[in-house]
Structure 1
Amino acid sequence: MSPSAVSPDPVHLVVGEEELLVERAVRGALAAARKADPQADLTRVKVTELTPPELAELVSPSLFAEGRVVALEAAQDAGKEIAEAVVAYAKAPADGVTLVVVHSGGGRSKVAKELPAALRKVGAAVTECPKITKAADREAFVRNEIRAAGGKADPDAVGALIEAVGSDLRELAAAASQLVSDTGGKVDAHAVHRYHRGRAEVTGFAVAEKAVMGDRAGALEALRWAIQLGVPHVLVADALADAVRTIARVSAVGRGDPFKLAGELGMPPWKVKKAQGQARGWDGDGLAVAMSVVAGLNADVKGVAADSGYALERAVLRIVAAHGRR
């Protein structure tokens, strides 16, 4: 180990269930260890597969002072003995070893649930990796990814990227990095549509957007492409339901500033603005019909209907017809 190098945190607690962020935290701990010792390696082990003596062996200093990172995974499943052993080690960690404790934040037992608090108390470095479920948090993630890659994106571009790629963080991160590389750093909605047009056209969201706008031919074409390319039927059904329900919610509050309505509705402003435009073609009776259609479709694609592909096509046609009720 280089004596001039900055020593990494000896104990690192990674808390949360967002897999991409957890993996980055573990990799970050390894990168920090390799700044002190370029030869440092990473060992992963599930906490349920360890006994206290085996843990002690894993974190024992090397005879040759080689750096080492030990990642204890699924610490929320820890039993009493191993949990106590982890905390005892964290109070007096060995030189040259980084212990990374990966914990979901929950726990099956009292001792497992209390493990993160015990590690915080003894001074473990902490990285929070909460599950990203809110639209605003997902948008913030995309903005940060683009910024980290050296680019800038306007709000429309962020919304367009999420709509084109979906909610999977790994795919969003890869797409953000690729867009920055391809555009020289200036990411706008036009760039997103240009680079992701093929993918966007076969997502459930594309089918839904055309259906709620009353575009019969466009919706059917997008649906057939989606089915042919293997987009799961349940995802198309979910997108149709989301589009119809969003329009219904936005219609119920009337016209207004999307930024002001966003907080009230719990939606990002771009989604409110988009739904306001889509709502112009709908009335209350039509929306009631469409709501009933998507409710029935949810059951159909999960096994009630004999042919879920036919159920999707029938639902799209009924939504398009409901759009024209005046």
Structure 2
Amino acid sequence: MAAAQTTRAKSAASNNVSWRDAAPAAVVLIMGPEDYLGIRAMDRIRGQVREAAPDVELSRLNAGSYEAGSLAMTVTPSLFGEAKLIEVEGLEAMNDAFLADTLGYLGHPENDVVLVLRHSGGVRGKKLLDAVKAAGWPVIDCQPLKKDSDKTAFVVSEFKAGGRRIEGEAVQALVNAVGANLSELAAACSQLIADSTTAVDAATVEKYYGGRVEATAFKVADAAMAGNGPLALSTLRHALATGVDPVPLVAALAAKLRTLAKVAGAHGSSAQVAKNLGMQPWLVEQAQRDVRRWTPDGLIRSIQVVAEADAQVKGLSRDPVYAVEHAVTVIAMSARRN
């Protein structure tokens, strides 16, 4: 099993692999601070190994509390010749014994052994990481998905993998509602995929997750950006009355305005703008429609008032509620006048 994997890994022109394409090899490095993606990659490799060798012997080591010689003992072929899967956590806290033993092992990996190394970030162990990369073994980089465009792409991929369609507006609604935590976003995707028999639309997302704080914040922002001041203020006051903190409300306003400002200053087709800005094409098209209601002065005024509100809700004002209401009012008036 590992011999063929060794050849594939070392002959690859590039050893960077997406977590979705994680596959067994004699050595696999999973690195990066996004634990959820690391877990998914590890689970995928483990599942493929067990499918190929149901009697595989699974062992787990910790690089921080490692004792010298443990790796050699673990990879030693058993009497019955079962395949071995060794999962090592905590490379970011590895001790000298682990570093020395693993560097030695990389030069002569055992047949029928899959060694999966998990490094959650930081500079410790760089010598080992560089050695794995230089040898051509698969490297799975698990970085946090910070941009909305990355999260929407994640949602689309989850639905594609689950054999279910989701509409563009529903994707953004889902990210707005639960996108702060990747594991929660993945769980929401799984639930919608399991419960839906047709394409998931924005109404379905609203039904499941419309009560979330993030969703409420974007409802306020959407109403303000559309120039509907009464709806924006009533939604805002209801949110505040039910305990929603002003900070995510201002963050939602800022996110909407940033998108509008980026698209307003871009040239080319929606596809070209989307590619240049790293955004979903449908989101660019929506922003291009919305920006027609705005003058440059109105957009600048709104960005300024949101920046002021952001500072005020984070401690510079004794009345953060007024700061948010003022920002919502200015944005709605700026949009409505144009």
Q: TM-score over 0.5 for the alignment? A: yes
TM-score normalised by L of structure 2: 0.76
* Counterpart for residue 162 of structure 2: 149
* Counterpart for residue 4 of structure 1: none
Q: Aligned in 2, Cα 1:108/1:129: closer, same or farther, shift over 3 Å?
A: closer
* Counterpart for residue 221 of structure 1: 234
For residues 190 and 86 of structure 1, what CA distance do their matches in structure 2 show?
52
Map of 1:1-326 to 2, 5 A cutoff?
9-35=25-51, 36-37=53-54, 40-41=57-58, 43=60, 45=62, 47-56=63-72, 69-93=85-109, 98-104=114-120, 107-109=122-124, 112-122=125-135, 124-199=137-212, 202-253=215-266, 257-325=269-337
After superposition, what is the alpha-carbon deviation per residue over 1:124-170, rounded to whole angstroms, capped at 9, x for unaligned? 44433343344443333222211221212344443343234325322
RMSD: 3.4
Deviation (angstroms), 1:100: 1.8
Deviation (angstroms), 1:179: 1.9
For residues 242 and 83 of structure 2, what CA distance do their matches in structure 1 show?
47
1:52 aligned counterpart, secondary structure: coil
For residues 303 and 200 of structure 1, what CA distance do their matches in structure 2 show?
21
* Counterpart for residue 8 of structure 2: none
Deviation (angstroms), 1:51: 3.9
Instruction: Give percent identity, aligned residues only.
Output: 38
Check the 8 A contact 2:210/2:216 in 1, yes or no: no
- Choose 285-294 or 124-133, whichever is displaced more: 124-133
Q: Aligned in 2, Cα 1:195/1:55: closer, same or farther, shift over 3 Å?
A: same
Can you give the 5+ residue segments of structure 2 that lack an aligned partner in the other structure? Answer: 1-23
For residues 88 and 312 of structure 2, what CA distance do their matches in structure 1 show?
43
Check the 8 A contact 1:297/1:315 in 2, yes or no: yes
Deviation (angstroms), 1:61: 6.0
Check the 8 A contact 1:15/1:129 in 2, yes or no: yes
* Counterpart for residue 13 of structure 2: none
- The alignment covers a number of residue pairs equal to 315
For residues 281 and 121 of structure 1, what CA distance do their matches in structure 2 show?
54
For residues 22 and 60 of structure 1, what CA distance do their matches in structure 2 show?
27
Aligned AA (1:103)? H
Deviation (angstroms), 1:101: 0.8
For residues 122 and 214 of structure 2, what CA distance do their matches in structure 1 show?
42
Aligned AA (1:43)? R
After superposition, what is the alpha-carbon deviation per residue over 1:242-269, rounded to whole angstroms, capped at 9, x for unaligned? 2123223333447x64223323444322
Aligned AA (2:104)? A
1:43 aligned counterpart, secondary structure: strand
Check the 8 A contact 1:205/1:236 in 2, yes or no: yes
Deviation (angstroms), 1:237: 1.7
Check the 8 A contact 1:202/1:225 in 2, yes or no: no
For residues 194 and 310 of structure 1, what CA distance do their matches in structure 2 show?
30
For residues 135 and 240 of structure 1, what CA distance do their matches in structure 2 show?
14
Check the 8 A contact 1:202/1:226 in 2, yes or no: no
Can you give the 5+ residue segments of structure 1 that lack an aligned partner in the other structure? Answer: 1-7
Aligned AA (1:158)? V
